[in-house]
Structure formats: structure tokens, C-alpha cells
Amino acid sequence: MPSELESAMESLIKVFHKYASKEGQKATLSRRELRELMESELSNFLMSQKDPAAVDKIMKDLDTNGDGQVDFEEFVSLVVGLSIACEQCYQMHMKKMAKQ
């Protein structure tokens, strides 16, 4: 039985490949695949994705090697960035709860 963290890592890999394999190169996300992934899998965390320019901006930020595709390593940096932001919210929430 995989642990909670191991399951989370497996989910990351599965979600990435579910979208990456849709079209073109099978092991990287195109702009359209990235948009689909963000809309379906990150809709609660990325409210601003209704702005079509937001996907372009995120794509540009993620595509560190500049090949117009987001590979797994580049994708993970998005997840890490979002996780850090969420963890800060979580800490603030816990502090608020402690005061009550």
C-alpha cells in the first residue's frame, strides 16, 4: 500500500500524462493541454484562469527551456509554487483557528 505522500506523487504523474498524451508530443503539455489541465484539475486554486492571457503567462513562466512545451519537470514547478502558496494560507487559517 503506498503512503499518502506516495499516492500524491503517483497522482501528479498520472494527471500530467493524462493531459500530455492527448495530442502531439506524448510526454509534454502543449498550451492547449496545459489549459485543459488547469481548467479541469486546478479550477479551485486558479480562479484567474478565466482570463485567457493567464494561461499564456503561466505557460511562458513554466517553459524554462523555451521549447513551447511543458515537460514534467516544468509542470512540477507549477505544483510546487501553488503548494507553497496554499501552505501559507493553511498556516494563516490554523493561526486563526487557534485564536478562537
Q: In terms of CB distance, is 10 or 68 closer to Ca ion?
A: 68
Least Å distance, CB 63 to Ca ion, is 4
- Burial bucket for residue 18 (CB in 10 Å: 0-12, 13-18, 19+): middle
Instruction: Tell whether residue 33 is a contact of Ca ion (CB under 5 A).
Output: no
65 CB-near residues (< 8 Å, 6+ apart)? 71, 74
Least Å distance, CB 88 to Ca ion, is 27
The number of C-alpha atoms within 13 Å of 30 and in the hemisphere containing its C-beta is 8
Q: In terms of CB distance, is 11 or 65 closer to Ca ion?
A: 65
72 CB-near residues (< 8 Å, 6+ apart)? 13, 16, 20, 27
Q: In terms of CB distance, is 39 or 73 closer to Ca ion?
A: 73
Looking at residues 36 to 95 of the shown chain, list those that interact with Ca ion (rule: CB under 5 A): 63, 65, 67, 69
What residues make contact with Ca ion under the rule CB under 5 A? Answer: 63, 65, 67, 69
